[in-house]
Amino acid sequence: MAEAATKSDPMANSLSPDIPRLAELNADQVMQLAAAGAVVVLPISPLEEHGPHLPMGTDAFNAEHFACVVAELIREIAPSMPVLLAPLVPLGNHVFPFMGSINIRRRVIRDLVIDYGRSLAKTGFRRFVVVSAHGGPGHMVALDEASTILTRYHRIKTVNLTSVIIWRFLTGKLHDRISKALVHPLTAEERWILAHDFHAGWWETAMMLLLRPHLVDPSYRDLPDKSLSVWRLRRFKAIRPPVGHGYLGAPARADADFARASLVVLREETKATLQQFLAGGWSPRHFRSPLYRMLIFRTNFRLWILAGLAILLAVAWMLLQ
């Protein structure tokens, strides 16, 4: 484990070296890719505290990595289909609101992605894949909303690719497959810990040991397990200093081998989802997180509440006349 923490893994820097980057191309090259039907892949995740041992850019680094994986998978699934990688957008919503986290309003995240996709559509692009590594409910739903609006109204088929995959991971639906991919399968105790590994814990620490080991503070090895049910957070009291340490999970259990095993499973999930998207005959609802159905996470929730109150007041006034 110590060696994995100190050595950089070649996976971190060798992904997709020949895939075109939007920021590096001139206008003619961009127009040629649009005319050829290129798929644009956009990574977006916030800068957020990740305890005393992980960098603020943990979600952003993971999103960049997954965007490269997505670009490679598109080439694997459809070798004749060009792909274009957009620069990371280091913004997000629904972060833990302390210790330097940068929280952007939910509506802003939704509108940012809509404007990005609408600009791509005007250039001639017709497929847009959004990739995130942040599990904040409001963030995922904002991306789901943007994907739905772009697909429905702006003539660019858009998918928030990782929303449903993040949901499956956080709810434990992928843990059996991850256990099988490990040299030593997970014990019952480890499965319980992983099921409550919500933030800067086992998995995210393992990912940074694989992708950015030089940014992981060695103190992660001595951090105690903080595995709590999500219902016990009580407005972040369990995680917020001085009571907590800015993480929820078991960072001391992490190593790069665990990240590799989880990436095998996540890559399989991503490929299956991409195949459905690229084949056509799909709808944005096939890729939404179940959280999308919870109106409290929608960007217009407060407006709906105000509109409902206004209608009730108007009806009450009319009845009293």
| The CATH fold of domain 2-300 | Rossmann fold (3.40.50)
Q: How does DSSP assign 271-287, residue by residue? A: HHHHHHHHH----GGGG
Tokens of 218: 């060695």
Rounded Cα distance between 165 and 129, Å, is: 14
Rounding to the nearest 10 degrees, give the CA dihedral for residues 211, 214, 217, 223. Answer: 40
Q: What is d(CA 131, CA 300) in angstroms, rounded to the nearest whole number?
A: 23
pLDDT of residue 6: 38
Q: What is the pLDDT of residue 301?
A: 67
What is the model's pLDDT at position 105?
95
Tokens of 59: 């979600």
pLDDT at 201: 95
In terms of Cβ atoms closer than 10 Å to its own Cβ (0-12, 13-18, 19+), residue 62 is buried
**pLDDT at residue 290 in the model:** 81
pTM for this one? 0.88
| pLDDT for 3 | 40
Number of helices (H), then strands (E), belonging to the chain: the values are: 12, 4
The confidence score (pLDDT) of residue 91 equals 98
CA 260 – CA 249 distance, rounded (Å): 19
**Predicted pLDDT of residue 283:** 76
Q: How many CB atoms are closer than 10 A to CB 207?
A: 26
**Region class of 235: left (phi > 0), else alpha (psi between -120 and 50), else beta:** left
Averaged over successive runs of 10 residues, the pLDDT of the chain (321 residues) comes to: 40 66 97 98 98 97 96 95 97 92 96 98 97 94 95 94 85 90 90 90 97 97 82 62 85 96 95 91 78 78 68 76 73
Please identify which residue in the block is written with the tokens 């050829």.
Answer: 36
